[in-house]
């Protein structure tokens, strides 16, 4: 059973990049249910499956900080899977409901949660992915677990298999009933991936060099004489405060004048001993400034610092950032751009909130601290799911990772190669209106959980 548990955890991780085979997730769930159904060492086997899953999925987190923080992260996440062991034998039909509940808990706890490993985020190529526009990430995760439990019961109890299978088929057919949204206009942006001199945790020490590389790539793109509405730079492309640094401020303003376009930059602001991660629409100086609200624990601030420094020598190199407290959107011509700064991509509430106001989503991210790992590709899959969930075209621009243009169906229209300077001209459509998932907001989780609970009670009576 040890080998089966390890193999199951690996199968689940393989539904995400770099292997990226979506269909391995429902197969992995089916095997997990089979292992629990055996009823022996359920807690131990559940932990082994979860730890294996997290270890493979999150290995990128060890790129420069070493193995210990990665293992601690995997351990903490895996412990939050352990209550799944309760779903065994006669309670196995409650597996989807318990799984969803635990996934939701992990997305909000501890330290505002770590939702990176939600099953839905590995389903960007699944044929049923558009159910996320009906019931959000919670419903897409639940479709995966329902397929898994239907596979488990295929030979054991065809009636139960048929019930869960019918629910999945109904949801997939419901996709065709989704109301179409009309585009209210077109928008063209220039995405600039300037790269960094060298990958690693200390890229900030070469902040001026990173800035210069983005200026250089922007000027190279301008030479192509293309037309566009806005220039977009990634997170951390301006790691010297442009308001307090006269040289940086003048270069940006000159760039405005030379291109005739505004630039959305990713900047680090320092003011009154506060450090903030910002997205700024720069046009002869700041026009609108969004301060990142959902900060990355252990990346932009250190919880339990006195304890954490015992496990990593890099803890005291991190200065705690100050979060923003208000949503700000950038308005350019007929576009209302919703800024999403890196880690905020996994925050359901924030994404749905700004998608109601914005007609185009922009993700500004920095992947330099994760080298050539699968982190950037995994993040891109999350971006694709968010585009479908909210029926919005989305552009994602990175310092070093994969920059991409994504349409509202989650398709990658064009993309760059990691770790080299490049740029993209992104043709996007502007959409208004809301998907059902967006309208329901956080109710998607409660409604989906209730539905899975009802399914569990119905099928348990049959299974007993």
Tell me: the pLDDT tens digits for 116-155?
999 999 999 999 999 999 999 999 999 999 999 999 999 8
Backbone angles phi, psi at 133, to 5 degrees: -75, -15
Which two tokens mark 2? 């040890």
pLDDT tens digit string along 418-453? 889 999 999 999 998 999 999 999 999 999 999 999
Tell me how long the chain is.
464
Tokens of 87: 């779903």
What is the token pair recorded at 207?
């902040």
* Tokens linked to 187: 């928008």
Q: By the 8 A CB rule, do 230 and 263 touch? A: yes
DSSP H helices, 64-206, are 67-79, 95-108, 132-152, 158-174
Q: Is 318 exposed, middle or buried (0-12, 13-18, 19+ CB in 10 A)?
A: middle
Q: Whose CA is closest to 389, among 135, 40, 94?
A: 135
- Which of 317, 242, 324, 338 lies closest to 285, judged by CA? 242
DSSP 8-state assignment for residue 250: H
Q: What distances in angstroms separate CA 260 from CA 227, 229, 256, one per listed residue?
A: 11, 10, 5
pLDDT string in tens for the chain (464-residue length): 888 999 999 999 999 999 999 999 999 999 999 999 987 889 999 999 999 999 999 998 877 667 888 898 899 999 999 999 998 877 899 999 999 999 999 999 888 888 999 999 999 999 999 999 999 999 999 999 999 999 999 988 889 999 999 999 999 999 988 888 889 999 999 999 998 876 544 544 456 889 999 999 999 999 998 999 999 999 999 988 999 899 999 999 999 999 999 999 999 998 888 899 999 999 977 789 999 999 988 777 677 666 666 666 666 666 788 999 999 999 999 999 999 999 999 999 999 999 999 999 999 999 877 767 789 999 999 999 999 999 999 999 999 889 999 999 999 999 999 889 999 999 999 998 999 999 999 999 999 999 999 999 999 877 65
């Amino acid at each position: 059973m040890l080998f089966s548990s390890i193999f199951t955890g690996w199968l689940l991780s393989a539904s995400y990049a770099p292997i990226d085979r979506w269909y391995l997730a429902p197969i992995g769930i089916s095997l997990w249910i089979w292992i629990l159904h055996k009823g022996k060492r359920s807690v131990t086997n559940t932990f082994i499956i979860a730890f294996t899953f997290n270890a493979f999925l999150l290995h990128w987190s060890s790129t420069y900080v070493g193995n210990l923080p990665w293992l601690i992260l995997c351990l903490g996440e895996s412990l939050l899977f352990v209550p799944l062991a309760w779903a065994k034998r006669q309670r196995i039909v409650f597996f989807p409901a318990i799984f969803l509940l635990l996934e939701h808990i992990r997305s909000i706890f501890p330290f505002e949660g770590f939702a990176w490993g939600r099953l839905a985020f590995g389903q960007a190529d699944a044929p049923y992915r558009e159910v996320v526009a009906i019931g959000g990430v919670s419903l897409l995760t639940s479709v995966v677990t329902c397929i898994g439990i239907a596979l488990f019961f295929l030979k054991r109890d065809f009636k139960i298999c048929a019930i869960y299978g019918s629910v999945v088929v109904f949801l997939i057919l419901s996709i065709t009933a989704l109301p179409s949204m009309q585009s209210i206009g077109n928008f063209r942006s220039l995405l600039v991936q300037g790269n960094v001199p060298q990958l690693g945790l200390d890229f900030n020490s070469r902040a001026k060099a990173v800035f210069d590389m983005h200026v250089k790539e922007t000027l190279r793109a301008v030479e192509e004489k293309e037309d566009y509405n806005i220039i977009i730079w990634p997170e951390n492309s301006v790691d010297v405060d442009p308001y307090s640094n006269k040289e940086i401020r003048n270069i940006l303003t000159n760039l405005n004048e030379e291109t005739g376009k505004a630039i959305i930059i990713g900047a680090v602001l320092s003011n009154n001993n506060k450090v903030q991660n910002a997205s700024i629409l720069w046009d002869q100086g700041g026009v609108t400034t969004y301060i990142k609200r959902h900060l990355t624990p252990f990346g932009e601030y250190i919880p339990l610092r006195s304890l954490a420094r015992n496990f990593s020598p890099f803890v005291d190199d991190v200065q705690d950032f100050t979060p923003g407290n208000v949503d700000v959107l950038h308005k350019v011509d007929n576009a209302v751009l919703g800024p999403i700064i890196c880690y905020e991509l996994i925050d359901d509430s924030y994404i749905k909130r700004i998608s109601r106001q914005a007609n185009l989503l922009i993700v500004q991210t920095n992947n330099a601290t994760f080298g050539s790992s699968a982190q950037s590709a995994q993040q891109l899959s999350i971006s694709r799911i968010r585009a479908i969930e909210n029926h919005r075209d989305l552009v994602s621009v990175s310092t070093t990772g994969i920059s991409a243009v994504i349409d509202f169906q989650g398709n990658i229209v064009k993309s760059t190669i990691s770790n080299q300077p490049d740029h993209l001209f992104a043709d996007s459509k502007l959409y208004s209106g809301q998907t059902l998932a967006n309208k329901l907001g956080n109710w998607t989780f409660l409604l989906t959980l209730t539905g899975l609970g009802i399914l569990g009670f119905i099928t348990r009576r049959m299974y007993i």
